[in-house]
Structure 1
Amino acid sequence: MRRLAIFLTFTASVFAASGPEQPKDVSQAGIQTAFRILQKEYIRSSELTFDVLNRAALSGLLQRLDFGAELVARTSEAKSGALSGVRAELLTPQTGYLRPREFTPRETKELEKHLQDFVVKKVSHLILDLRSPAPPGNFNDAADMLSLFVPKGEVLFKMKQMGQAASEVETNLREPVWAQPLLVLVDDETNNLGETMAAVLRQRKQALLIGARTRGGAVRYETVPVDAEWSLRFARAEVLLEDDSSVFQKGLQPDFPVSMPTSLKRQVFSATDAKDVKSSIIDKPRPRFNEAALVANTNPELDSYLRRSAGKPLPEDSPRPSDTVLQRAVDLITTRTLFQSAKIDWNRKTPVSNNEPPARRAIPVTK
């Protein structure tokens, strides 16, 4: 009985804070009473065994902690090498694109190599895509990646370990490779390392964020096996920015919000893994009858009509998935470039042509 009483107290405290559907004005004693009544009077009270209530308590606690703790299958703990490496490409001669997939030490070296290549090619704009659905990573890798952008000697971030009063300060000890501003793409699948990188770069005013709100999981996780099949992954240390602020359970609100379904983004990533990234932001126009077709003695519109009449599909019937977030980022760069290249002389006076008649003065009316 003592064991059951202690369990009911713990379970009641969990369910009292496990979700918005639970009445907030019910006391602890009231919740414990509700559990006792259900165990005795519920129509299927025999199903409310200690094991069922125990699992319900754990489920409610994990729901309350959200992504601060979760059960993961031990078979999925090891990272898969199927989607590793850095996706790098020149979207335009002046715009580079980089997307790390797993945030590993090997990808840090690849990222540095591609950045050095962009610098040699005098690329002036960079888009860093941090939307890869990677599992939580090691913050040493986040510090190494950030060191490619942050000036030497500057604070990258801090780690506040549980039970410690002081924070561990991560400082950049090397010269950066990319010192210019950049655009960072984020969403709710950005992992803990990507979210930390985005938060640091934006706070330093080195980056603008585009995409969807992040989930607020900038913490160091620890994974401990709980049985033969499952492990418990829980937050052990919290990431703090230079001003000691935190994004844990808050997330990052993008400077330019752009919504895009997660399923569509994954389709785009899958398609661009086999092809170039540029194909996901450029729409291929439907072939039309023009001068080139006339010279080639072809009529693509007639061909399309005949295929449609025969019940055959056309290429435009199943368009390729497009990356709306990346498109808006490129549009922003294009717009910024156009405005910066425009030179307006506000003191310029319009020259008067010799053939233009002089302006006539108004003649006052006299009475």
Structure 2
Amino acid sequence: MRRLALILTFTTSSVFAVSGTEQPKEVSQAGIQTAFRILQKEYIRSSDLTFDVLNRAALSGLLQRLDFGAELVPRTSEAKSGALSGVQAELLTPQIGYLRPREFTQRETKELEQHLRDFVGKKVGHLILDLRSPAPPGNFDDAADMLSLFLPKGEVLFKMKQMGQTTSEVETNTREPVWSQQLLVLVDDETNNLGETMAAVLRQRKQALLIGSPTRGGAVRYETVPVDAEWSLRFARAEVLLTDDSSVFKKGLQPDFAIFLLTTIKRQVYHATDAKDVKESIIDKPRPRFNEAALVANTNPELDSYLKRSAGEALPEDEARPSDTVLQRAVDLITTRTLFQSAKIDWKRKASGNQEPPARRAIPVTK
């Protein structure tokens, strides 16, 4: 029983007394041990409460309390998945570039730099950086390399505070940035630890606005240790700190423009645009109509559609396509901002010398 007590103390703080109308209080350690002794002796199926079952229950309760701070992962998943990797890059308009790293690796950092230089060469004025990819936790050296493409040389990127250490490791940018133009960052609850760190740093420095939904607060360095032949324990070992020593761990980031999109729809969009243009997910395809071009071609698409629908046939416009509303709103925001900035109003403009023409005098009607 003494050995059992050591395991069960992990879940002490998660057990509460729920009877009565007063505020629930935590059950004492002695109360927990008493409850388990009673269950082992008096429970209708006390033989089911083996030491192995209780051990697994204690570990499950602990991992549930730690949430994403620690988790058991199959050792086969430690290797890179077969999903697509690399940076998805596209010009949504001649002035709006789009970049989405899929796995946040060192190879993708080089691709990111190459695409940024290409955008700069084409004089692209705005960039949308999509950090919503559901990638596994990554290496913070790659996060520092990606951030160095946007931050000035010599600036502190972020800090890493190891458990039990009083000092922090400081990551500093040692190179000149590539991109210094307008930047919007897309985030959600699937943004991984590197993407969340990048978003937090860029917004703290007021170099980017965040659009999307709140992140989960997983900006930590993970360590993975095998526990048996099939499973490994992945747990938070170091915490990311911003330049002011603040942390987003367990807090997350609240976007500047909150736009909710179901995770299932976002993944459908990613899957549909992996082999196509991202622009397809933000532009509505108009229904064919009878116009001058159809008249010249001696066709009538509206009549053709009517006949097909009357015959019960499906039309191309009836097919539901997943739409990335978060990316749509980001493009709308850039377009609106550009429109207002380009509008020049001369508040000091003087009235022209030509006054309004005088009103014509009424001519009486004579009989």
The TM-score, its normalising length taken from structure 1, stands at 0.93
Per-residue deviation at 1:290? 2.1
Query: C-alpha deviations, 1:45-70, integer Å up to 9, x for none?
Result: 22111111111111110111110000
Q: Is the 8 A contact 2:187 2:212 kept in 1?
A: yes
Structure 2 match to 1:344: 345
Give me the whole-angstrom Cα distance separating, in 1, the residues matched to 2:67 and 2:255.
Answer: 22
Letter in 2 for 1:309: S
Give me the whole-angstrom Cα distance separating, in 2, the residues matched to 1:115 and 1:5.
Answer: 57
Per-residue deviation at 1:9? 3.4
**Deviating more after overlay: 228-237 vs 311-320:** 311-320
Give me the whole-angstrom Cα distance separating, in 2, the residues matched to 1:350 and 1:288.
Answer: 47
Give me the whole-angstrom Cα distance separating, in 1, the residues matched to 2:26 and 2:354.
Answer: 83
Give me the whole-angstrom Cα distance separating, in 1, the residues matched to 2:96 and 2:73.
Answer: 39
Per-residue deviation at 1:297? 1.5
Q: Percent identity?
A: 86
Q: Is the 8 A contact 2:13 2:26 kept in 1?
A: no
User: What are structure 1's unaligned runs of at least 5 residues?
Assistant: 359-367
Letter in 1 for 2:56: R
SS at match of 1:178: coil
Structure 2 match to 1:33: 34
SS at match of 1:222: strand
SS at match of 1:150: coil
Q: Is the 8 A contact 2:113 2:178 kept in 1?
A: yes
Give me the whole-angstrom Cα distance separating, in 1, the residues matched to 2:88 and 2:9.
Answer: 51
Does 1:103 pair with 2:96? no
Per-residue deviation at 1:14? 5.5
Query: C-alpha deviations, 1:308-359, integer Å up to 9, x for none?
Result: 122211112222211100000000000000000000111223436456128x
TM alignment of 1:153-164, pairs within 5 A: 153-164=154-165
TM alignment of 1:318-333, pairs within 5 A: 318-333=319-334
SS at match of 2:327: helix
Letter in 1 for 2:238: A
Structure 2 match to 1:365: none
SS at match of 2:27: coil
Does 1:316 pair with 2:307? no
Structure 1 match to 2:143: 142
Q: Is the 8 A contact 1:86 1:98 kept in 2?
A: yes
Letter in 2 for 1:246: S
**Deviating more after overlay: 80-89 vs 264-273:** 80-89
Give me the whole-angstrom Cα distance separating, in 2, the residues matched to 1:14 and 1:331.
Answer: 46
Structure 1 match to 2:280: 279
The TM-score, its normalising length taken from structure 2, stands at 0.93
Query: C-alpha deviations, 1:157-203, integer Å up to 9, x for none?
Result: 00001121100000000000001230000000000000000000000
Per-residue deviation at 1:27? 2.9
Letter in 1 for 2:115: H
Q: Is the 8 A contact 1:12 1:32 kept in 2?
A: no
The count of corresponding residues between Structure 1 and Structure 2 is: 355
